[in-house]
Amino acid sequence: MSTIRGGNPLATLRQITSTRPEPVVGERCEMCAQAIAEEHQHVVNLESRALMCTCRGCYLLFTAEHAELRYRAVPDRYLSFPDFAFGENEWDELQIPVGLAFLFQNSVQDRTVAFYPGPAGATESELSLEAWTRIVSANPQLGVLKPDVEALLLRGPDRENHPGFSAHVVPIDTCYELVGRLRALWRGFDGGQEALAAIEEFFATVEERSRPAPRPSGDGVA
């Protein structure tokens, strides 16, 4: 994962930890250099969009939602939308050539971005503000989506297993992990057996971890 170094609040932290001996193996927090487990949390750099691997302590520095911060902690929540209002027309409008896409709000550029996996990694698809606004107004529950750190995962219909569309909120680091995995596995036009199996496995995990999204209460929802 790419690293963007710098940022004053972290200078002190780095000084404190720089006197410690460096761990020989394993990953390290990209903010304070402390050794971290293979399973760890991430922070998004809002300018570069880079994900940074963090220890728990550094992660917690950036969980405040409305603070004017350069980094944001990626939350660990999965939500499902059992009554998602979405159909063929909306799907066509997004112009996604594969069976799934991730949509997220880029708060710095003030726009919604759609991307999908493929042999070259993540490919961005133009998403008109109009199209996004229509989807959100048909599904007010989508107001729970947190900019920059969560993505709306859309799955299109599939010949056998999935006749309809599905939507989930997933942590953005999960999306990048899937994209990276698929890039390595992708063969031919549709990804091939291994990529399709990885996608199935991914959706099974998402289903298992998701709980239904909260209903809009009537106020405070865009």
Q: Which of 201, 141, 151, 204 is nearest to 176 (CA)?
A: 151
Give helix 192-209 / helix 172-185 axis angle, nearest 10°: 160
Angle in degrees, CA 59, 62, 67, rounded to 5:
175
Does residue 94 interact with Zn ion by CB under 5 A? Answer: no
Token look-up 């759609």 returns 114
Q: Which is nearer to Zn ion, 31 or 101 (CB)?
A: 31
Q: Which amino acid is at 13?
A: L
Among residues 43, 53, 151, 206, which is the contact residue for Zn ion, using CB under 5 A?
53
Q: Which is nearer to Zn ion, 57 or 164 (CB)?
A: 57
Helix/strand/coil for 50: coil
Q: Which is nearer to Zn ion, 34 or 63 (CB)?
A: 34
Q: Which is nearer to Zn ion, 20 or 111 (CB)?
A: 20
Angle in degrees, CA 157, 162, 167, rounded to 5:
70
Does residue 172 interact with Zn ion by CB under 5 A? Answer: no
If residue 89 lies in a helix (H) or strand (E), which one and from where to where? helix 88-94
Q: Which stretch binds Zn ion (CB under 5 A): 53-61, 64-72, 102-110, 189-197?
A: 53-61
Q: Which amino acid is at 26?
A: G
Does residue 199 interact with Zn ion by CB under 5 A? Answer: no
Does residue 58 interact with Zn ion by CB under 5 A? Answer: yes
Does residue 73 interact with Zn ion by CB under 5 A? Answer: no
Among residues 32, 103, 167, 213, which is the contact residue for Zn ion, using CB under 5 A?
32
Residues in the site for Zn ion, rule: CB under 5 A?
A: 29, 31-32, 34, 53, 55, 58
